[in-house]
């Protein structure tokens, strides 16, 4: 049996085990071939000790361990290297490999919906999700700007991947120029009002408590993509890395 799991703290609320089970049509969280556990620990070191000692083949990584886990990795991929953070770690005979599929949560979500990727994109929020979004949009070929309350904190990252960096108070003209806006903050901000998003695509990271969602029955001024698409589109490549099998995305979406 191959064992997988999630490390982080707190993670009791996580939907990862349910997503994994739905994706592979498991009864509960365990069948003969696969098992998925929550590995909650007070520290990244304690979590990685369990990962190593208890025979896990791969783990998802969530807050607050995404950056610290990189110190255990021998073979980081391009995306996790640029982001300095991983949400997937695979145990192979020659060492640990890291990936960051948050990037694909944005990359695949936008690529599925836009045939013409020329133009500008704005990412609001410079945390881990925002950085993953900025890298994904830039790789898609969009002229990307990352807005953060404190631009100095993200300026080195922006310079490294070749995207613009601005303060939140400067987002109004950036929104006006943008075709795609990604909102990667947990709370709404005064600087962004829904009427500013006319004719835009808005992708929001927060699927549990969205800030700018709209009713399907509402004639909205913008095209809203909820965080569920981001969640599913990052989970699919993560689970494929674990098992080499493609999970059932339809079954995963039906959990919500």
CA 105 to CA 230: how far, in whole Å?
4
CA 109 to CA 234: how far, in whole Å?
9
Starting from the edge strand earliest in sequence, which strands make up the sheet with 34-40, in order? 34-40, 2-8, 56-61, 88-92, 95-99, 75-76
Tell me which H or E stretch contains 243: helix 227-243
3-state secondary structure of 91: strand
Of 166, 173, 175, 219, the closest CA to residue 197 belongs to 175
Radius of gyration of the chain (CA): 18
Contact 103, 128 (CB under 8 A): no
Catalytic residue IDs: 66
Starting from the edge strand earliest in sequence, which strands make up the sheet with 178-183, in order? 164-167, 143-148, 120-124, 178-183, 201-204, 223-225
State CA 107 to chain mean position distance: 10
Pairing of strands 56-61, 88-92: antiparallel
């Amino acid at each position: 049996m191959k064992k997988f799991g999630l490390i982080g703290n707190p993670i009791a609320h996580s939907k990862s085990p349910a997503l994994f089970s739905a994706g592979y049509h498991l009864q509960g969280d365990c069948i003969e071939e696969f098992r998925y556990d929550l590995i909650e620990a007070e520290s990244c070191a304690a979590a990685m000790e369990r990962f190593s000692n208890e025979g896990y083949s791969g783990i998802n990584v969530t807050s607050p361990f995404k950056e610290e886990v990189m110190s255990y990795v021998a073979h980081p991929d391009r995306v996790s290297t640029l982001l300095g953070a991983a949400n997937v770690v695979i145990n192979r005979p020659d060492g640990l490999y890291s990936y960051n599929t948050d990037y694909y949560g944005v990359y695949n979500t936008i690529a599925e919906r836009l045939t013409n990727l020329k133009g500008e994109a704005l990412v609001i929020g410079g945390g881990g999700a925002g950085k993953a979004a900025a890298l994904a949009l830039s790789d898609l070929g969009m002229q990307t700007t990352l807005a953060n309350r404190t631009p100095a904190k993200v300026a080195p990252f922006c310079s490294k991947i070749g995207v613009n960096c601005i303060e939140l108070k400067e987002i109004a003209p950036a929104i006006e120029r943008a075709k795609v806006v990604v909102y990667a903050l947990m709370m709404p901000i005064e600087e962004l009002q829904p009427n500013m998003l006319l004719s835009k695509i808005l992708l929001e990271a927060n699927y549990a408590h969205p800030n700018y969602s709209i009713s399907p029955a509402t004639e909205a001024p913008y095209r809203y993509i909820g965080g569920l698409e981001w969640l599913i589109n990052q989970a699919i490549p993560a689970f494929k890395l674990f098992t080499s099998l493609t999970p059932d995305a339809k079954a995963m979406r039906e959990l919500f």
